[in-house]
Structure 1
Amino acid sequence: MDQLPEIDAYAQVETTLRIEFAGIHPAETVTRCMDAARHGAMEVTGHAHPGLVERIARKHLQVLAAVVADQE
């Protein structure tokens, strides 16, 4: 039962990032960045707090957006 609030928090973060990066990245890219951020946080800190996952995923998405902009 303790997992449910965290799962909801991850879903909220993903929704927030999908809205923030709509028109820049497809939803699948946001999901992949969320998954990678969550995995990376677990590997480094042993826990993937939703706030940390959000910051990491947002940074990944910003970098990807910058790369796409540079290629245009």
Structure 2
Amino acid sequence: MSDLTSKMAARVKTEPAKRAAEAFRSPTDDMQRATVYLPRATVRGLKQAALDRDTSMSKILTDLADRWLAQNAKT
């Protein structure tokens, strides 16, 4: 039995376990949901553009919003 105990001891982590929030954190955690109403044709166009460019609507809209803010920032 002591042989089994030593084998199992080698497998047991001695470091504290990560909290669930840390273990499952993703890059999108810094994002916030915003509801925006757009014409259906615009949404369809954005979805198609995202597919064509292998990106997401969120990325496209974030890039557009960032550019707009940079151009219209008060100095």
Q: TM tier, shorter chain?
A: 0.3 to 0.5
Give the TM-score taking structure 2 as reference length.
0.34
Structure showing greater Rg: 2
Give the TM-score taking structure 1 as reference length.
0.35
